[in-house]
Each structure stands twice: as C-alpha cells, then as structure tokens.
Amino acid sequence: MNKLIIEGGHRLQGEVEISGFKNAAVAIIPATVLAGDTCIIENLPEISDVKTLSEILIGLGATVRELGPKAIEVNTTGMTECFADYESAKELRASYYLLGAGLGRFKKARVVYPGGCSIGTRPIDQHIKGFEALGAKVTIEHGIISVEADRLVGAEIYMDVVSVGATINIMLAASRAEGMTIIENAAKEPHVVDVANFLNCLGADVRGAGTDVIKIKGVHELKGCNHMVIPDQIEAGTYMIAAAATKGDIVLNNVIPKHLEAITAKLKEMGIEIIENCESIRVVANSPLKNINIKTLVYPGFPTDLQQPMSSLLTVANGTSVVTETIFEGRFKHVDELKRMGANIKVEGRVAVINGVDKLMGAKVSASDLRAGAALVVAGLVAEGETEIENVHFVDRGYDQLEEKLVKLGARVRRVSL
C-alpha cells in the first residue's frame, strides 16, 4: 500500500497538462467490443482503471497493444463472447459497460456485479430497465449480471433517474438494435457526448447526445476507428480548487473551458480570478476566500465529483458554507478525515455545514474513495505541517501522475511505498 506525504503551505504556480477524461475512457474502451475490429484510442489517462479495463478485454479474447503512454490499439475481432464474470472486473464500476457492448455485439453478456467508489447504494435498475426495453432478459444470480436477447429491438425509454452510466450503457446496446431507440431524460455530461461521438465514428447513428433526448438508429455493423478522449474536467477542477486553496497562480492546458463552467462560476463567487482561453484556463487566487453554497446536480450543474475537493477548500474560506449532495447519499466520508485536520464541519443527511477556520493542521488521514482522496490532497496542500494520506490506490484510479504534476507546480509531495 502506498502513502502520500504532503508538506503544506506551498503556493501552486506554473502550468499543468490535463489528461484524458477517466469517465470517458472507461466507457470507450469497453465500447470497442461493439466494433469487432481494430480501434486506436488516444489521450488516455495513465490510471489504474484504464489498465484494469485493458486487462479485462485481453481476458475476453481481445488484443490490446500500447502505442505509447497515452494510446492503445484494441482489436476485438477475436472475441466470441463477453463474459467478464470474474473478480478483477469487480474492481471498477465501468465494467458494467461490457453489458451494453456485449449485448449489442453478441446479444448476450455476463459481468460481475460492479464495484467502484463506496459513495452510496449505486443501484443499476435504470440499466436493467433499458436493456429489458430493448428486448433483453436480465438476471442477477450469485453476484453475476447476465443479459441475453434473441433480438434487440429499438424502444422509447424514459429514464426515471438521470444516470450517466445507464444512458451510456443503453446507447451501447441500442447502437446494434433493430430500428430506433429514444432515450428520454438522458444524462447530458460531456463524456456521454464523447461516447456518442466514438459510436458514430464506428459507424453508429446516435443523435442528440448532450441533450436530454438521445436518438439511436441501430445499424447492422460497426467498424473500427481512431478516437481521442476529451480532457478530464474533474481532474482540471481538482487542480483549480488546489490552486485556490494554496493562493496559487496556475495555467491548466488541454481543457475545454465550457465543461468547467460550474466550477469556474463557484470559484469566481469565492473571489478567485479565472481567465479563460480556447484550450487553457488560468486560476489566480490572491484575495481572501469568500464562503459560498454548493448544490451538486447533474450536468451542467455543479459536479458531484468535485463536491469533496471543494469541501476541503471551503474549510478555510471565511464564514459558513453549505454543501448539499443531491446525487450520492454516501459522499461525505472525507468529512471525518478533514475534522482530524481541524476542519469545522457538521453533516446532517445530504447537507454539510462548513464553518471556515483560519488554518488546517497536517495529520495522518485515510482515503475512503477516489474523490475523498483528492479532497485530502487539497487539504494537505493547504494545511500547516505534514499530512500523510493512506490508501492512495483510490487516488491512483483517477488522477494521472498526481504527485509529478503537483511537484512541478511547486508542491512538496512524495509517495512512500509501505
């Protein structure tokens, strides 16, 4: 197990290159199963989830060749089935995209019930609703989800809950169904659009991604293509928050400012100066941090994935801030660890009331999930003294070369392998 040791109190300054988006990459890699051909995926983040998914595909009969640090060539021609019903697939939530891709390609698939960050119950009823609407039979036995259909026929599907995963999974299966599928109340996140663009690059017919109505006209065959993953707006938002916390001045390169509108707006409310260019954004924090209120919502609202890092920033803002987490009911596990560092936070259900303190003190803390880990990194950067963060493997799932990028920005961070 690794630990990160952070010596707080150093301003972040300079430039950081933002990597490809984890949550787009972990959907596009399984989606290559639909092609039964060779795909080249570029601008991948170097994170453990990408490595795990590549290993799973190889286990399913695909070949995956590294073309460089951020690109792979995936050939799924040799696959005859999609049964990822073994332990390693349990490590990450995105394994469930193999259900939609396997159903679309083979009319059947089996995947171990998905794992992923422990941030709430994370049901999959909307995925199941979509697959059944397309004509599949779904069974869950002994922790394995099985989907099977004689025929996949397009359908009109209304999502009871706006779900990124279910929207993407249904898009995958519907791309090879007979006729038109309409997903209503669809998720509008940028990575839903990126997956739709990838599917269309394979020869699918997906329209309306990015709106709440997505129409997918099934096609008989999909072929391979090359695709570049969009930049990771959650990684970018995390560095923006870290710059604000350390009264820094940083430029983030390889970003799409439009995808960062919610975090940009809230940091500006706190008194942070944000300068946007076409593919970069500059964050300048040199005035006292004002308290604000945050309510996580589906895109384009404030992203739930930045709630935890933002909560760390609010612990040292002036006054009282209120954070409402409307997406995941269990996404406050970082709070107890922040309290060890001197934060003043009271959680009632889905609401955290944060009273700003003058400073945080370094301490030994433990990450409970990916973005809780990111929250502790932000807190460590601003705390007085040294912070030791355990369970860094959570952070490695979603942040590409975290300590290298932070050290380049002037932070004092080192990794200790236990």
Residues making contact with ligand EPZ (CB under 6 A): 22-23, 26, 93-94, 117, 120, 122-127, 161, 163-166, 187, 304-305, 327-328, 370-371, 398
DSSP H stretches of helix in 22-86: 22-31, 48-59
Minimum distance, C-beta of residue 260 to ligand EPZ, in the bound complex (Å): 15
Q: Name which of 9 and 115 has its Cβ closer to ligand EPZ.
A: 115
Minimum distance, C-beta of residue 164 to ligand EPZ, in the bound complex (Å): 4
Out of 82, 117, 201, 278, the active site residue is 117
Two structure tokens written together for 326: 């409307």
Task: Considering only the C-alpha atoms of the chain, give the largest distance between any 2 of them, rounded to a whole number of Å.
Answer: 64
Distance separating the N- and C-terminal Cα atoms of the chain:
5
> Helices 97-106 and 22-31 meet at what angle, rounded to 10?
20
Distance CA 308, CA 373 (A): 9
Minimum distance, C-beta of residue 385 to ligand EPZ, in the bound complex (Å): 28
Minimum distance, C-beta of residue 93 to ligand EPZ, in the bound complex (Å): 5
User: What count of other Cβ atoms lies within 10 Å of the Cβ of residue 155?
Assistant: 18
| Distant-in-sequence, close-in-space partners of 12: CB < 8 Å, separation ≥ 6 | 239, 242, 243, 246, 248, 249, 250, 381, 406, 409, 410, 411
225 is catalytic: no
Q: Name which of 112 and 289 has its Cβ closer to ligand EPZ.
A: 112
Q: Which residue number is nearest to ligand EPZ in terms of Cβ?
A: 165
| Distant-in-sequence, close-in-space partners of 17: CB < 8 Å, separation ≥ 6 | 253, 254, 405
Q: Name which of 93 and 412 has its Cβ closer to ligand EPZ.
A: 93
Distance CA 228, CA 164 (A): 20
Minimum distance, C-beta of residue 159 to ligand EPZ, in the bound complex (Å): 9
Amino acid at 400: D
Q: Name which of 125 and 156 has its Cβ closer to ligand EPZ.
A: 125
Q: Name which of 363 and 395 has its Cβ closer to ligand EPZ.
A: 395
Q: Cite the active site residues.
A: 117
